[in-house]
Amino acid sequence: MILFPPAKINLGLNILGKREDGYHTIESCMFAIPLRDVLEILPSEKVMFVQTGIPVKGDEADNLVMKAFRLLNSRYAIPNVYIHLQKNIPMGAGLGGGSADATYTLLGLNELFSLGLSTEVLQNLATELGSDCPFFVVDQPQLAKGRGEVLSPINVDLKGYYLKIINPGIHIGTAEAYSNVEFTKGDESLESVLSKSPEDWRNELVNGFEKSVFQKYPMLKGLKEQLYVEGALYASMTGSGSTVFGLFTKEPAYSHKELFESVIRL
């Protein structure tokens, strides 16, 4: 079985406050994009995990893919598998690649072994792996609240636009990103802003991480500003960074040979 876990971008990200459990309450629209890792899952005599593509730091046992396998195995005693992860989505980039890989591992194992798990059960399992993980169970734009796990569908159509993403290779950990944030809440609801055309988003659709992250990494602010110079209708950092993206009506040119850069037709 071969699956293609997608990246995501955040269209707006309000950080509303800190919870008693140590997490933060957020509000954001998560939108999957066709930048994908490749995940192969096969029955095997023993558990095996192989990772290629962009190197992943850390012990393989700590990889979210293996955590997803162990989680499902602990609940349903599934057979052993061979898993090959081809990593194409930059890590620590605000693109949700690791979360997508973990969730697609759950989806693949559910299908491979005919477990018949419902969307709700899969989302609950995914929540145990990470706040962004439940989003990837259902392939549609979703409004995320709570710590990111409270999801509801939202109608956001970007078909026909071009998306340019730039990642400078700066790894921003979640704890680092949250350390200096100021709590944010726009004057208008996120749903209301997103109901408008992307041409109207520039001054209304904000990412609450940008202020503190841009202060520490001014290069990211410069990349966002350059996207506007190139003609973007809307530009933003996604998640807690360090990827920035711009939406265009016409195909933009590549401009950073030394950075990870991709132009995608949505």
Report the catalytic residues. 8, 132
- The pair of structure tokens assigned to 69 is 């396998």
Residue keyed to tokens 């997103």 = 194
**CA pair distance 249, 233, nearest whole angstrom:** 8
- What is the residue type of 79? P
Q: Please give the C-alpha separations between residue 163 and each of 91, 168, 178, 245, in angstroms, as whole numbers.
A: 19, 16, 26, 7
Are the beta carbons of 86 and 20 closer than 8 angstroms? no
Amino acid identity, residue 98?
G
Nearest to 73 by CA among 40, 44, 106: 106
Length of the chain in residues, anyone?
Answer: 266
